[in-house]
Amino acid sequence: MQEEVLRKLVDDVRAGRTDRRAFVARLAGLGISAPFASLLLASAGVAQAQPAGYKPTRRGGGGALKMLFWQGPTLLNPHFAIGAKDQEGCWLFYEALARYDADGNLAPVLAAAIPSRANGGIAADGRSVTWTLKKDVRWHDGRPFTADDVVFNFAYATDPQTASTSVASYDGIVAAKKVDTHTVRYEFKTPTPLWDRAANVVLVPKHLFEAYGGARSRDAPANLKPVGTGPYRFVDFKPGDLLRGELNRDYHGANRPHFDSVELKGGGDATSAARAVLQTGEYDFGWNLQVEDEVLSRLESSRKGRVVACPSGDVEVILINHADPWTEVDGERSSARSHHPILSDHAVREALTLLLDRKSVQAFVYGRAGVATANIVNNPSRLNSPNIKDEFSVERANALLDAAGWKRGADGIRAKDGRKLKFLFQTSINSVRQKVQSIYKQSCAKAGIELELKAIAASVFFSSDVANPDTYGKFLADLEMYAVAGRQPDPDTFLQWFVSWQIASKANKWQGVNRGRYRNDEYDRLYRASQSELDPIKRTALVIAMNDFVCREHAIIPVVYRPSIYGVARQLVAPLSGWDNALSSIAEWYAEA
């Protein structure tokens, strides 16, 4: 994908020759996520699509909204949120400047408008972004919401003593400056086309948290009794179990919210949560229904509720270890200084890609919850490379391996120079992942590659415990599989997965994000160039170039693209988005009569 082609595409949208949706879909095919594509349009001065109309004509009157989360929120301070479940709970009471809608567009929440070059919000030099805030917003205790609150949240989250988990959202922002009472400016370390950083960080009130910054953060009473600007006021919270809220009479959105009370029940398992929403109708909304699609379809046949699959950037990938996990170098296996004796052969990597039967994985394992893709939306795409398509071909894999000199032995396993094509393939314990593992093992066997499967408890696999050998960061195996959550629009995080200075090693306590230990000077150069490129269109071209590069090299094997799966009661209208938390749009939810 060349820069000129991208420019033409953007021009087509501006001139009305192509509609936004088609543009976003086209870029998705090129490995660019929807939010990223939308940002590109916004920076190019193409107006936002008008939000769909909200139906209810008055505030309240919708009765109770009952939601079931099989993992309940355990805390209510957005800056301490450990997982998505905690952020979801926060959105009932707190809000952010903006949220990402289903198409990946930014929709204003506490901001009066989305910054753009046209309205002067985005600085021409790419060094800052200016947000104007809504004027009539009040915290639940009656205090006005002002620029001071936004500035405070930056200081609070970035104080290392607070030990906040939201600090990364402010990455690259060096200062939050108050311009006037309702205008705030984020200043960036370097000129960046990614001005939407921290746009959807949920904000807490300065007046209640100011006294509890840094080391005292755990003592703040508001940690457990949130006072926000959101559509619902806090009523009761039992960590991990129950969260209740009631209608906020002073909410800043007209005729919003619709429900008189909300209840979020946590605990149990995903299957029975799906049952309670889809089959018995006991609950109105079921979060993140990680249940086999076949079961969901059966439950759905009761017609009490429906399954909604929201496109998101989450992709399941198989990582290839480019370092040698079986030899110790300087007291460390999988050391960055080593090369994998077999997987450094391009033909073997390409054969491994060809042997992944993605269509069967989708048909027999994931169903609606995983769409076969050779293309990682938000991540490396291979669609634009005419030589490599989503292809499953045992014959071609066999031919490739034959040509590369890997000969079948008496046991049917290929070998060359005394090395057998045997790999250890690890992942976390999860019935779906184990099924994918065995499908892959079977097709690899057909090409004379033997896979040894290993499953590790998720709490160990994803742990940062340096003493444990089974973590995904140490990667003491040849292949490993897990999901990349691509919720944030910035592909930068994922692109860092292949740069040499991010290689996970003993020296950085295996915290480097390049867990595949991939190293290539050309890629590093492209990445550096993308970091300093201010023109959004040029940068996008670079991103696509990097995607291509990694895919042609078969540095990683994408498996499926995973939409977020929610259960929604029949009457409930909920504009869910896979690019943000499900409850980020809670103010817009209503029940049809």
* Binding footprint of another protein on the chain (CB under 8 A): 64, 68, 74-75, 77, 80, 82-84, 160, 163-169, 171, 218, 223-224, 236, 238-242, 244, 261, 263, 265, 267-269, 272, 275-276, 279-280, 282-283, 457-465, 468, 470, 472-473, 482-488, 493-494, 509, 511-513
CB-wise, 131 or 212, nearer to another protein? 212
Smallest gap, in angstroms, from Cβ of residue 50 to another protein?
29
Smallest gap, in angstroms, from Cβ of residue 202 to another protein?
12
CB-wise, 292 or 588, nearer to another protein? 292
Strand partners, 179: none
| Cα separations in angstroms, 311 against 25, 81, 371 | 11, 23, 10
246-282 CB burial, b ≥16 within 10 A, e <16: bbbeebbbeebbbbebbbbbbeeebbebbbbbbbeee
Smallest gap, in angstroms, from Cβ of residue 318 to another protein?
17
Smallest gap, in angstroms, from Cβ of residue 430 to another protein?
12
CB-wise, 350 or 492, nearer to another protein? 492
CB-wise, 67 or 354, nearer to another protein? 67
DSSP per-residue codes, 389-423: -S---HHHHHHHHHHTT-EE-TTS-EEETTEE-EE
CB-wise, 174 or 220, nearer to another protein? 220
36-48 CB burial, b ≥16 within 10 A, e <16: bbbbbbbbbebeb
| Cα separations in angstroms, 16 against 1, 10, 397 | 22, 10, 45
DSSP per-residue codes, 455-506: EE-HHHHT---TT-TTSTTT--SSEEEEEEP--SS-THHHHGGG-GGGB--T
Show the tokens assigned to 35.
Answer: 């939010």
Backbone angles phi, psi at 499, to 5 degrees: -85, 145
CA distance 374 to 137: 45
Question: Contact at 8 Å (CB) between 198 and 186?
Answer: yes
Q: Which parts of 220-344 fold into alpha helices (H)?
A: 270-274, 293-300
Smallest gap, in angstroms, from Cβ of residue 294 to another protein?
18
Smallest gap, in angstroms, from Cβ of residue 273 to another protein?
9
CB-wise, 93 or 472, nearer to another protein? 472
CA distance 46 to 43: 7
CB-wise, 167 or 388, nearer to another protein? 167
Smallest gap, in angstroms, from Cβ of residue 178 to another protein?
25
Smallest gap, in angstroms, from Cβ of residue 458 to another protein?
7
CB-wise, 265 or 349, nearer to another protein? 265
Smallest gap, in angstroms, from Cβ of residue 577 to another protein?
16
Cis status, amide bond into 489, omega within 30 of 0: no
CB-wise, 462 or 501, nearer to another protein? 462
Would you call 496 exposed, middle or buried from its count of C-beta atoms within 10 A (0-12, 13-18, 19+)?
A: middle
